[in-house]
Structure 1
């Protein structure tokens, strides 16, 4: 038998041998470790122990490398699952919120549910085989707003049949450009992808949206299965099926009471519209589902259960398409952790206040004053519940001061005034460009002039300038009219200083933006608190059984 002390080999071990192999002492004799030797044993003993330690270290190192390598490969696998797209593909002028006193800013994410039937799986789940290959529609659109201090959140839906102004968009995949139009909001997805839908939201609300996420039918099913089911409730038996008067239907069939839905049944719940009675009520059912899902995830030990976390990660990365700047597992995980940190009783779900479209009774319009208040509360980062004061955007910081001196005296500063006071619900206020231009002339800005371009629409008044040398001129114009300097923006869309009179300044010659009071939401928002587990849907009579 070859001695390990001579060859440096690991001794063989079987069940007939002693685990302490014979050793050779310095004089060539043999003995057992420790047998009649001084403390520490012979030199050969010590050499064997050092070899054993080295082998152990090598084996441990290899185990760590293999595990780390497997983890890295799995991380790359998850990243490869994620589909990504351009953040914005349309004309949008929304600006990021100013940080609060602690340097924090809100986070806004647009969640889009696509009705795409461009795969066999989606056709099977969504029906309508004749629509396979058609441009997808964004039938679910919801803004997730996390407050700057991450202490509260809001989920705000716009019903899919709401008529809005859709800006000029360019499809990043094909390069095709779509002109600006006025149409229902779900068509924006087919006019340049999710980035066009994001730009449409920004122009409507004035809220800067950081990211978008999109999910299709098959993705909803995968995610619902990975979560393990979500509790929903109906007050009467429901069956959303075709009727003699109304074709189609999701196929949802439940008895009265609370049910845990997952997989295809979860998709049916989210798609049901006829059985609830309207598209806004479908948004309510979707809010109930998402609130229940968030409560479920918080109750589960997802972030300490490796198996559950991997299942969710696999499902999420296969199910979501996201804007490219959040297209990694780490960034999606960080977003999830930020949302997880918000208590469920500080999450408010609501639907944009709306009215019937006089052009088409099947369509909706934003309810002017009610919708404007919701958008302004989002822009100013005011909480949608009565449990906090909010982080207040720039609250606690001094008003922004002019940073540049004008390039010329007041009477030599050129400024073009545009009337952009129109909206989907309001006609432009007549003569506003001329009225404000005259006020500027009266104040000494002799070169102020009105722009006669018609059909402009802007939710919030802004002053734009094209280059750094005109920043001081733009700030001077804003200050003379009481416009906050946070509304002075550099833009390549203008060739000179341009004052855009928005829908928030329809009367008067001095800009006095009213700050909404922290007195809650308009009654027409149909809001639900995230911790309210008692919510239950009423079923429209023709769909009861």
Structure 2
């Protein structure tokens, strides 16, 4: 086998060198100068900088790992569908919902506040707050749900045992936590029509340590007080800085403010949160990495969160979004309620106000901004093909999901006789007589074989249901009123087409106009809120 010729530069140099030796370094000649050695100070500086870089990167890695190891997780959504599968997530529209839960469990570090018999395991939800960050980061709403709100509780898969926990046709919302935080997520998703992205579950210890890490939160009461019946909160008249046990007592007291109702307790919690948000924003905590890490360390040690939030980028992402929002656009809301019909000591949703509010949340409608001009560049709601623009509280008109066509359907001539199609209209809007206007719209469009299905319990979302071989008719009915295609669903139990009017459509024959209930916003984070009113039963001299 012929050998390859050695014609490389190295071979030539070896041939020209005594004994075939190839000299080290570049050749010496009149066009070359000897290489200068780097000064000692430059070498020391380079080594030092490299060491600092390695130290910083190593420290950051250790800190991230530490935060990751702090975290306890649970499934985001434990609700079950009819087939036994857990609820599938809906495609995100850019807005972000985080459910913040406070548990009254006495397990573990919380045993000093009572026995496990009072509240063991996951406990019940002492606090339920839904934080909604708009897609454009211009506004935040924090909605409080009363602990004794009566709602349907879905079947759930327990986060601890893996067993199925049967739901209830009507149960106290705070009891859903017994099957894990994912069950509360499922119940509120079902109630509001939203798709919650994350949850945070805090216990008594979390509240104490977070308030300590913040250096206290300022509160004000109109009279010196002492809650001798539970929390043992003791405050002088005027302003106080509360932290640790005192901060926890402020949030836990059930008797000290107003008329001792759960709604007055919610007002006190919103007051505390508003003060805390002002302090965090004023001190620049959300953009100060050392401070943010300190808070993250405290928070992650004492929280249970969903798996999707159990990473540092997700946590930092939420902090970054919150840091950009004006305090005047952070609103505190209590979901509209009224006494529960079967027990006045509990509450139920007040309709249609609650349904209108939930529709505003689904469509990212502003609660604190002045009315905006209609725009086609609206943000779609999660799980919906409709879109809406922002508007002022109380009016808040939005661009409808689709143009109204009640004068003439925006569809080609159907291959069926419209006058022969059976269509029932069921009124679930909580407004007596609401179906009449919609029936007139159907008749004027040629659907004359339509009738009222009567008034039923309020439903928060309008639907168009259809039976066998009626999909085309249902689609045309939806287009007639501008109802989104996502609301059109097959239902074998329906003969013909059934249009269910929800609380998200309270007037007119054009679906998609969002009406925010008047005075829905209790306060905003830029307001000091004055001083809380103390229940006279707890005055001290």
Within the candidate set 518, 522, 529, 1:522 is matched to 518
Within the candidate set 231, 240, 257, 1:250 is matched to 231
Report how far residue 239 of structure 1 moved: 1.4
Report how far residue 522 of structure 1 moved: 2.7
Whole-Å separation in 1 of the counterparts to 2:448 and 2:255? 58
Instruction: Name the counterpart of 1:381.
Output: 364
Aligned Cα root-mean-square deviation (Å): 4.6
- Asked whether the equivalents of residues 85 and 322 of structure 1 are also in contact (C-alpha less than 8 Å), the reply is yes
Within the candidate set 95, 98, 105, 1:116 is matched to 105
Report how far residue 266 of structure 1 moved: 0.8
Deviation string for 1:90-141 (max 9, x for gaps)?
A: 2588996996xxxxx432222111112221x2121x3245325344111211
Q: How does 1:252-291 map to 2 (within 5 A)?
A: 252-276=233-257, 277-291=260-274
Q: How does 1:151-300 map to 2 (within 5 A)?
A: 151-173=138-160, 174-190=162-178, 192-242=179-229, 249-276=230-257, 277-300=260-283
Deviation string for 1:342-385 (max 9, x for gaps)?
A: 11112221212221123112101122133233223222322222
Superposition TM-score, scaled by structure 2 size: 0.73
Report how far residue 290 of structure 1 moved: 0.6
Report how far residue 293 of structure 1 moved: 0.5
Question: Given the superposition, is the C-alpha separation of residues 491 and 444 from structure 1 closer, same or farther in structure 2, using an over 3 Å criterion?
Answer: closer
Whole-Å separation in 2 of the counterparts to 1:145 and 1:195? 18
Whole-Å separation in 2 of the counterparts to 1:349 and 1:358? 27
Whole-Å separation in 2 of the counterparts to 1:95 and 1:490? 18
Question: Given the superposition, is the C-alpha separation of residues 514 and 165 from structure 1 closer, same or farther in structure 2, using an over 3 Å criterion?
Answer: same
Whole-Å separation in 1 of the counterparts to 2:400 and 2:511? 17
- Asked whether the equivalents of residues 359 and 504 of structure 2 are also in contact (C-alpha less than 8 Å), the reply is no
Q: How does 1:8-19 map to 2 (within 5 A)?
A: none
Deviation string for 1:156-189 (max 9, x for gaps)?
A: 1111111112222222442324234301111111
Report how far residue 489 of structure 1 moved: 6.3
Question: Given the superposition, is the C-alpha separation of residues 288 and 399 from structure 1 closer, same or farther in structure 2, using an over 3 Å criterion?
Answer: closer
Whole-Å separation in 2 of the counterparts to 1:140 and 1:507? 31
Question: Given the superposition, is the C-alpha separation of residues 141 and 499 from structure 1 closer, same or farther in structure 2, using an over 3 Å criterion?
Answer: farther
Gaps of at least 5 residues in structure 1 are: 1-41, 100-104, 243-248
Deviation string for 1:465-520 (max 9, x for gaps)?
A: 99xx998776445225x242254368999999986725338999x964372456xx
Whole-Å separation in 2 of the counterparts to 1:497 and 1:151? 44
Whole-Å separation in 1 of the counterparts to 2:338 and 2:70? 41
**Is 1:148 aligned with 2:135?**
yes
Whole-Å separation in 2 of the counterparts to 1:254 and 1:488? 52
Instruction: Name the counterpart of 2:314.
Output: 331
Whole-Å separation in 2 of the counterparts to 1:54 and 1:330? 36
Report how far residue 50 of structure 1 moved: 5.8
Question: Given the superposition, is the C-alpha separation of residues 483 and 131 from structure 1 closer, same or farther in structure 2, using an over 3 Å criterion?
Answer: same
Q: How does 1:31-70 map to 2 (within 5 A)?
A: 46-47=36-37, 49=38, 53-54=42-43, 56-70=45-59
Whole-Å separation in 2 of the counterparts to 1:502 and 1:459? 9
- Asked whether the equivalents of residues 240 and 272 of structure 1 are also in contact (C-alpha less than 8 Å), the reply is yes
Whole-Å separation in 2 of the counterparts to 1:258 and 1:491? 59
Instruction: Name the counterpart of 1:14.
Output: none
Report how far residue 542 of structure 1 moved: 1.1
Report how far residue 461 of structure 1 moved: 1.4
